[in-house]
Structure 1
Amino acid sequence: MAADGTFSPVPTGEKSPEGAIGPRSNTGQKGGAGALIDYCTVVLPESSIEDHGVTWLPNLIGQLFGTNGAIVVGSIRNKPWQFYSQSAVLLDREGEMVGRVGLGGNGSTICVSLSGAGCRWVTRWDNVAKAVERWRGKLSRVDVAYDDYDGECLDVHALRERAAQGDFASGGRPPMHRFLSDEGHGTGCTLYVGAKGHKELCVYEKGKQLGLKTSPWVRAEVRMYGKHTALPLDVLTRPLDYLRGAYSVLQEIITGFCTRIRTTRKAVEATGTAMVEWMHRQVGPAINLLREAFGASWADFAEVHIAREGHPGRFRGVAKGDRLAQLMREELCPS
């Protein structure tokens, strides 16, 4: 964060041990420039939108995020949300809720908020930045996430110690921090540094959160809020730079970059493995009894009397349908 209180990325030219911060453009990269946009809230003036001939809400969402119908707008209801008198939910093509829209009042603006599940459908964040600028809008919140899939640079316990030592201070008093322990149960620990509404770092054991107790996967999220000053638009195209620039500790330890597709694959691997482990514990004996009772035809019996449509809720927001089945085959039974 800059001395004047505005958000700033790692300075141009700053080198990581690998020789570069990460790609400077996210063109063609589903995950963005080295890190992931995991939450995005945009506020747009109604007058500017109308000046550009955009009067239909689904058209606005399509032009803003370029999702080509992957995100649809639900019915506008007289249900207050975020100081707006009306609101509508955003759904993806799989029927999952991925965001909200606020309308009516609040300075004659429209607020569009996209969750992490919704952000995965956006492939060109540079175009999102251009649309916000064209419509004279502002970013009021952006979450940037970095996934350390193998636990090579992020350690939630080591970072807890550094927070206690005051290493997250930026020339002033150290920010507040709190630590949520899983008390050894393997469900994952979480460290928070900073406070909501301004700038907050959350580091947590992502793989364990998904149910895989042996997973080394750790995620760092920096949640930036434009409460008093709008966030710079290039946070959408340089997310890793802004994440590393949020705290000197992150600038020091984070190397390499992550991608949306690898994160999705890792989520399917961790979630799928955890599901199989649960099935082994909970229904393994029942399956064994069916096998003893019906021999080679036990699978046919299970197909008729046990299997049913749908997927486990634990995969919600990760993948669905044929794509999920394909990733399960590839990640759990690699050739």
Structure 2
Amino acid sequence: MAGDRAVLDRSGLPSSNRGVSEFRNDTGTLTVGIDWFSASVDMFAVLNELAFRDGDSYEDVRQWIDYSAENARVVALQMFCFFFAGLGLELDETVGGGRFYTWRVKIIDKAKKFVGMIELGGEECRRADGAYTARLELTGDGCKTMSAARCGHAQRWLELRAKLESCAGRITRVDVCADDLIGEYPLRLAQKWYEEGEFNNRGQRPKAELIDDYDSGDGKTFYVGGKKSEKQLRVYEKGREQGDKNSPWVRYEAQFRNSNRKELPLDILRDPATYLLGAYPVLSFLNCVATRIEITKAAVEATWKSARRHLRRQYGATLRFIVQHCPDADALKAVIESCTSPKLPGWATGDTAAHWPEIAAVQLTQEGVTA
């Protein structure tokens, strides 16, 4: 085992898993990342951010999208650029029919391999509150590309989280995987935990199933929970599945789904390790997973940029009108306060104010005056 650890330390993660996560232990032998993602978003909130066909009614735009595949791709491209620009991915030229939506456009990588999709159009896309939605999806390969781009997991996924929050995004499915690269927590250990009741929930034991390779070297898979339930854990011999019959690499992968009873929190994109451990406390070995960058700072930066962009695009002209017609700073403050809500947004913390440049500059000036 020591030899395995040394090889991993020198060469990094296996090529099929490199860049999946910024969440890993000191030796790089235990990592946590996101391996599947899908969400619905308020389509017109996104288009408003981009000022797309500004002035047209939502119904006119919706009918225009439904009219042709070409129109649908134009809107899908707008959404692709908003959420996934800079990843090195592309939007396919071909538009097909969707499963729940009228249109589906594939997201592909440079090798033209399918890594995700955008779905939109049709009456089925309307939420109970009347909002028209579009659907985003990234496969495991799409998530790897997302995590590997630029600054790694935290920067890219936190930017996505902030954008989802700005357009009423709801996660519909996310898979969180923990990779034990040296086999310290083998599949048979997960079976033992199940037999001991460690996966029981409120006294109820979930269903379990073993897909046995009968020691052929192809790899075993152990399932805990139903495939269509709110959560299901899959434990499988990932390295052997990839073709190495002697690999010790084991993956613990939880599939989380939203339901009418429970929505998935956007923060699962910020810290997947915490949510995986929270769902399955028996996976206590995840406590040793550490972040390699300052997550809070990255989260704050991604959030305030999205909030300021949304404020400027949606209400910039109104704010300009208010500024022009207020005679002094006190009057401006009074008018602005008359338009505010007593509640603060979920992302608002002391750190947010410190990282918002204009607010920080004003605070610094006031501190100087006070001093």
TM-score range, shorter chain: 0.5 to 0.7
Q: Where does residue 186 of structure 1 map in the other structure? A: 217
The structural deviation recorded for 1:76 is: 5.3
The structural deviation recorded for 1:167 is: 1.6
Question: Is 1:41 the equivalent of 2:38?
Answer: yes
1:253-278, CA deviations, whole angstroms, 9 ceiling, x for partnerless residues?
A: 33533999xxxxxxxxxxxxxxxxxx
Q: Where does residue 111 of structure 1 map in the other structure? A: 135
Q: Where does residue 88 of structure 1 map in the other structure? A: 105
Q: Greater CA radius of gyration, 1 or 2?
A: 2
Q: Where does residue 57 of structure 1 map in the other structure? A: 76
Amino acid at match of 1:37: I
Would the alpha carbon gap of residues 48 and 117 (structure 1) be closer, same or farther in structure 2, given more than 3 Å must change?
Answer: same
Unmatched tracts of structure 1, length 5 or more: 1-28, 261-335
Distance 2:20 2:243 in 1: 25
The structural deviation recorded for 1:143 is: 0.5
The structural deviation recorded for 1:30 is: 5.8
Partner-residue secondary structure (3-state), 1:113? strand
Amino acid at match of 2:251: R
Distance 1:30 1:174 in 2: 32
1:187-234, CA deviations, whole angstroms, 9 ceiling, x for partnerless residues?
A: 111111112231010010011111111111001101101122321111
The structural deviation recorded for 1:32 is: 3.8
Q: Where does residue 248 of structure 1 map in the other structure? A: 281
Would the alpha carbon gap of residues 126 and 69 (structure 1) be closer, same or farther in structure 2, given more than 3 Å must change?
Answer: closer
Amino acid at match of 1:142: V
The structural deviation recorded for 1:87 is: 0.6
Would the alpha carbon gap of residues 185 and 100 (structure 1) be closer, same or farther in structure 2, given more than 3 Å must change?
Answer: same
The structural deviation recorded for 1:244 is: 1.2
Partner-residue secondary structure (3-state), 1:174? coil
* Greater RCO structure (CA 8 Å; 6+ sep): 1
Amino acid at match of 1:243: L
Find 2:178's aligned residue among 135, 143, 146. Answer: 146
Distance 1:48 1:32 in 2: 30
Distance 2:157 2:22 in 1: 7
The structural deviation recorded for 1:59 is: 3.5
Check the 8 A contact 2:96/2:104 in 1, yes or no.
yes
The structural deviation recorded for 1:242 is: 0.8
Distance 2:116 2:76 in 1: 14
Distance 2:105 2:291 in 1: 30
Check the 8 A contact 2:35/2:175 in 1, yes or no.
yes
Check the 8 A contact 1:193/1:200 in 2, yes or no.
yes
Distance 2:290 2:118 in 1: 29
The structural deviation recorded for 1:74 is: 1.4
Check the 8 A contact 1:74/1:89 in 2, yes or no.
yes
Check the 8 A contact 1:33/1:237 in 2, yes or no.
no
Distance 1:248 1:235 in 2: 16
Q: 1:269-308 maps to which residues of 2 (within 5 A)? A: none
Distance 1:140 1:31 in 2: 21
What TM-score, normalized to structure 2?
Answer: 0.58
1:27-57, CA deviations, whole angstroms, 9 ceiling, x for partnerless residues?
A: xx86143411111101011221222126442
Amino acid at match of 2:207: M
Amino acid at match of 2:50: G
Would the alpha carbon gap of residues 54 and 44 (structure 1) be closer, same or farther in structure 2, given more than 3 Å must change?
Answer: farther
Partner-residue secondary structure (3-state), 1:57? helix
Would the alpha carbon gap of residues 247 and 30 (structure 1) be closer, same or farther in structure 2, given more than 3 Å must change?
Answer: closer
Question: Is 1:71 the equivalent of 2:102?
Answer: no
Check the 8 A contact 1:62/1:69 in 2, yes or no.
no
What TM-score, normalized to structure 1?
Answer: 0.64
Q: Where does residue 234 of structure 1 map in the other structure? A: 267
CA-based RMSD of the aligned residues comes to 2.1
Partner-residue secondary structure (3-state), 2:119? strand
Distance 2:49 2:35 in 1: 28
Check the 8 A contact 1:187/1:213 in 2, yes or no.
yes
Find 1:205's aligned residue among 234, 237, 241. Answer: 237
State the identity %: 31
- Point out the structure with the larger helix share: 2
Distance 2:79 2:239 in 1: 36
Check the 8 A contact 1:98/1:116 in 2, yes or no.
yes
Q: 1:311-326 maps to which residues of 2 (within 5 A)? A: none
Count of aligned pairs between the two proteins: 228
The structural deviation recorded for 1:73 is: 1.2
Would the alpha carbon gap of residues 80 and 97 (structure 1) be closer, same or farther in structure 2, given more than 3 Å must change?
Answer: same
Would the alpha carbon gap of residues 148 and 224 (structure 1) be closer, same or farther in structure 2, given more than 3 Å must change?
Answer: same
1:55-86, CA deviations, whole angstroms, 9 ceiling, x for partnerless residues?
A: 44233223213x415121113534132x1121
Amino acid at match of 2:49: H
Unmatched tracts of structure 2, length 5 or more: 1-18, 25-31, 53-74, 127-131, 147-151, 293-371
